Structure 1
Amino acid sequence: MSAAAGVWASVGTWALLGAHASWTDLRHAVISRRACWAAGIAIAALLGASALALSDPRRCLSTFAGAFAVGALTEVVYRTRPGAIGYGDIRLIIVNSLLLSWWGPAWPWWGLAAGTAAAVPQALAATLRRGRGTAVRCAPALTFGAGLVLTARLSAVGPLP
């Protein structure tokens, strides 16, 4: 397998997860644990194989470190304010971060910021309609934000930065 093929397979896996998570979140207010972890493991394996194909194991470590940093912060947010974010959203954020970390440690943060910004209009509308503390379905916005950053990275530098 070539390194670029592994990255493209990771992108495809992530796209399937994003579509599935968005659909189930909108329909049932659930983001599947199995789907997130299965896709996350597949993406980690594919990116790890791509890093090995490039003979650059440090890229694999930096990719995992970038995802870990975002995951640790969202875990702290969840533990301090569990009503503010659901754990399914955190799992999706971790998988998004894992993919975006391939291009560098800053990109998962940009993906999280873009996803959060995309969720703000929906959150404001839900708050105005139903009051404070209303649940907001964030999977579509988180997927959209990560997709924007992913598209920018792929168009700017391609699958192999």
Structure 2
Amino acid sequence: MPWPPVPALSAFAVLSGVLAVVDARTRRLPDAIVLPGGAVVVLLLGAAALAAGEPARFAGVGSGALSAFAACLAVRLARPGAFGGGDVKLAAVCGAVLGWGGLGAVASGIVLAFLAAGIGAAGVLLAGRRGASIAFGPFLLFGAWWRVITGL
């Protein structure tokens, strides 16, 4: 990965750490953190695309954000109460980051998040905690970071 997205990934790392802890503790992803943090990440990705001389990358960032948002919004609408609005907004931020690498990276990162959450939910059930909820935000972040680390 070229150097220009490093500031955006640094901001995303800080945002990821904060949101993972908040969601794990409260089962909420506050707009006061997700929206401004996501805006900073997207702006830095746009600057990275221009700095790299690849403005088309910014189109990938936008389409990644939109596709991840749409996919997770569909899940939220299909299963009200099982998926929060904060998760949908965080999916857009994750999709923007993954969009740097193309729609394949977006799709695989989001699918990986759902698979990891399924494994986590199975663990909760095996532990005998039926009815317990799990925070989805950390799984979204896991899926996004897995794709970033393994190469967009």
TM-score, with length taken from structure 1:
0.83
Partner of 1:159: none
Aligned residues with identical type, % of pairs:
28
Q: Confirm or deny that 1:86 pairs with 2:80.
A: no
Of 146, 149, 157, the match for 2:147 = 149
Amino acid at match of 1:130: R
Cα distance in 2 for partners of 1:127, 1:90 equals 24
Amino acid at match of 1:84: A
Cα distance in 2 for partners of 1:119, 1:80 equals 17
Indicate conservation of the 8 Å contact 1:89/1:138, yes or no.
yes
Indicate conservation of the 8 Å contact 2:29/2:87, yes or no.
yes
Q: CA deviation at 1:130?
A: 3.4
Partner of 2:38: 40
Q: Secondary structure at the match of 1:106?
A: helix
Cα distance in 2 for partners of 1:8, 1:43 equals 11
Of 41, 46, 49, the match for 1:51 = 49
Partner of 1:158: none
Cα distance in 2 for partners of 1:142, 1:82 equals 18
Q: CA deviation at 1:131?
A: 2.7
Cα distance in 2 for partners of 1:70, 1:33 equals 17
Q: Which runs of 5+ in 2 are unaligned?
A: none
Partner of 1:112: 110
Q: Which runs of 5+ in 1 are unaligned?
A: 155-161
Cα distance in 2 for partners of 1:77, 1:145 equals 17
Q: CA deviation at 1:63?
A: 1.7
Describe how 1:1-161 pairs up with structure 2 within 5 A.
4-5=3-4, 7-128=5-126, 129-131=128-130, 134-153=132-151
Indicate conservation of the 8 Å contact 2:60/2:101, yes or no.
no
Number of matched residues? 150
Partner of 1:157: none
Amino acid at match of 1:18: S
Cα distance in 2 for partners of 1:84, 1:28 equals 15
Q: Secondary structure at the match of 1:4?
A: coil
Cα distance in 1 for partners of 2:49, 2:87 equals 27
Please give the root-mean-square deviation of Cα atoms over the aligned residues, in Å. Answer: 1.8
Q: Secondary structure at the match of 1:136?
A: coil
Indicate conservation of the 8 Å contact 2:67/2:95, yes or no.
no
Deviates more, 1:65-74 or 1:47-56: 47-56
Cα distance in 2 for partners of 1:121, 1:104 equals 26
TM-score, with length taken from structure 2:
0.88
